[in-house]
A and B are shown apart, each in its own frame.
Chain A
Amino acid sequence: MNFFSIQRDIPGIDPVFLFDVAGFPIAASTVMIFLIIVLFVVLAVVVRKTFTTIPTRFQTVMEFLYVGMVDMLDEVTNDKKRSEVIFPVIGAMFIYLLVANLLGLVPGLSEIMVNGNQLFQTPTGDFNTTFGLALGSIIVINLISIKEWGIIAYLEKFFKFRDVIKGFKKSIGEGSISLVDLFVGVLDIVGEIAKVISLSIRLFANMYAGQILMIILLGAFAYILPGVWYGMNIFVGALQAMVFAVLVAAYYMLAIKPAEEAGTQE
């Protein structure tokens, strides 16, 4: 028995399946999300039961976070009406990722085992969570874009045939340049896919690497050093949650009509 190190197995990159529900496998990350759902239900009850116009200390802290998120989103969108529309999605995403990232750091939680496997796994340490979230976000953003621009204008962002025809009508030179635009438009489709990949892998890799590094550090020296990394992980967890939410907000702003065109800016 070594008092100066804690030896643990490095978790695999694949999801840890715990059991099946109606033939649908339930992963450890999903169980952790269920726990987060329970926490949010409790929070919802507390908000509904105790929050009043005259705030308590807890309410003040919650409102401070809420207003901070709204302000942060306002800075990204620079449009209050747009912020109000997308805040529930971006805010929910940020809080969910923040709690998910930080909950994995709660001591003892990762020690609960079922059939030799961890019952709770940091959701963002599972690629499926980040990928699902990123894919869902980009799909919703594209649907909003279609609603905003119309299906024809939306498709024209990727397939700029009209520009090519117009270019060639003017001159051969302009037609040739518009062919480049056509190619760039098609590349934008790749760009949309890249958004999903970059969003999901950035978050997953940061969190997964953080976990692995923590296990390595604990295995090397159980005191002081992991504590520093622990603090760093809290910071990284909060930062990554913010980066993910802000990027989704930025993609949303790129997908919709500019404020002056839509007439929404205040």
Chain B
Amino acid sequence: MSKSVGKSVTRVDAYEKATGRAKYMDDLCDRGALVVKILHSTIAHGYVKSIDTTAAEAIPGVVRILTCFDVPDIPFPTAGHPWSTDPGHQDVADRLLLNRHVRYYGDDVAVVIAENEVIAAQAVRALKVEYEELPFVLDVQKAMEDDAPQLHEKYANNILKHTDIRRGNYEEARKEPGLICVEGWYDTPTVQHCHIENHGCYAYEDSGRVVVVSSTQIPHIVRRVVGQALGIPWGKVRVIKPYIGGGFGNKQDALYEPLCAWCSTQVGGRLVKLECSREETFVSNRVRHAIRTHIISYVRPDGTLVARKFEAFSNQGAYASHGHGVVAKGMGAFPQLYPCDNLECDCWSVFTNRPAAGAMRGYGIPQAMFAGEAHIDDICQAIGMDPLSFRRKNLMPVGYVDGFSKNELYHDSFNQCINKGMEILGYEEKLKEYQNQTGPIRRGVGLAVFWYNTAVWPISLESSSCRMVLNQDGSLQFQTGETEIGQGCDTAYSQMVADAVGVPLKDVHVVSSQDTDITPFGLGAYASRQTYIGSFAIAQTAAALRERILRIAHDQTRMPVSNLDLVDGQIVRKSDGRVLKSLGDLAMECLYSLEASEHITAETTAQIKTNAYSFGCSLAEVEVDIPMCKVKLLNIVNVHDCGRLINPALAEAQVHGGMSMGIGYGLSEELKFDEKTGKPLNNNLLDYKLSTFVDHPTLEAAFVENAEPTAPFGTKSLGEPPACSPAPAIRNAILQATGVAIDTCPITPHVLYREFKKAGLIEE
């Protein structure tokens, strides 16, 4: 049935975006909107004692000032997770619209609603806040100490949550004589998503309901959270998602939609717009969790893993947001990637006075892969085994089944991906060539693999709905609650719909915007779930639509349904292949029939109770200038087994973007904070070093296509995986080049200077 799937067809939104016609949030907002500006706290921790609004109110054009003393006392959660019917499994409701207890430098204290942006900004500056300052803590382990400042009442030692995994008997197993113990601490930084469109939204009331148009990945979830935050029935909220300029997980939270909606209700339902500046996006949206990981491995000289300990301390920042799910996902990879009989794994999510950490591309896996894959190379160095042989010996074997998710490794994906990557990079020759270097400039190659779980079942609900509406000409509209955020899912969906229904691709019209009043329920863009999860809903709805079409074809042609097929938009008699009529003619006759008029549509919900592993690897080649403490990335290859490719060109493009983000993670990106004040130091695109056009070499993306047996089109996750393994591959390449194991990323000249000095490679 495959005619479109597997082809590199042009994006459905390419023309709109190439011409600049695609409308994003601010392009749609009426110019008469009132502007909301937020006053952010200028201390890292404390209480707002008072806010003097006199001077601000005197500014002409200020419409309303609302402060933390005005907001409803309704704590709400913000994470973009599905609602849980189990109250114990619901997201932590620790947010208010504005805060008297401010918990990070940049917390939301008050808003000004004004006639325009300039007036709003002037009025924010004119607000005078009196604080009662409290001690603050930025470091994750210091925050766990008994005398540390406490951020939230109910969480002793700031521990939001601790979970563990136990297998076998670690303490007994490690006593085996002759074992080699390898121990490491690995630090990953706070980074930010840096989608080029900042988050923003606008809100107004219409017929007694509040409408929010937002740059979000999760319209249906945001609708629920706005309802919760405002204490109004969810049916009173309508959320619309237009084109959005990237998200990468930041917009998988309810960000300022609740506040913006509430502001509208406080000015008589007038249209209000709240747009984040870049500086606000860095600090007052979400960031990636900085995670400190401690790993101890007991290994036999032949490379057999006997006992392992894993501890991860996740810097949650000031609010729970996605909370413990992120580090827990990272920990979940540990026992599966390199199975070992004796394990002690623990992870903690800990509140600190930093910006709230939420979802970001990879959801705990980039942190876990940096630590885990760095540690594997540390083991290899300790036992004198080459990193490739160690991985081939210890990686998850074919046929491995995870007891919890029931995920299975069906194919020899790891070896296939590694082999392909080695060939592209010329790994073996380079590895040999770069042995025993002594000069100031040295080269090295490194390898890292990754593990990624598609979607969120069985931890949370996986459900997707879609609607297909047939037009008079035989074309159809396709609508889903799953969101296009730049990754290309609308195009992949159009290909699936064409094949599953049996119509030409040109006859599939994807409705690319979500409107919770109209769009069937779906959870949105996260967990690299949409291509996998959405495919079930498409296959099921297409089957329902086909059944209806063929029944009508039977009425119109008197042929039995069993002898009818819909192929390429034509009703075909199977027995002789004759085209009986076009789908357009069928639809016309049916819709305008004076006897039995029908509008041919189908809509179903698919609940998905399977899940799929997605695997791959990165291979990197670096040149290290030891005296200059500089790393130049010469070559990098990512190889993925994400099942069958729906659209190879878009898949490749997706991998490029993830690799770029992974390279930044490894070499340059870090959001820094002043230790003395907690103030962010580089919350702008100049001082925060995300990869630019000149910061990496040609990005090589390759694939191994093993069809995923659980999914209708054999596909599985690709959105997040590309960002998971580049950083440890670069780190391991530096290790091969210099013999120095770097346990912190980003690997900046500052870090290299410290480590090279320690290793005696450079002098004071």
A binds B: no
Q: Hey, which bits of chain A sit against chain B, CB under 8 A?
A: none
Q: Hey, which bits of chain B sit against chain A, CB under 8 A?
A: none
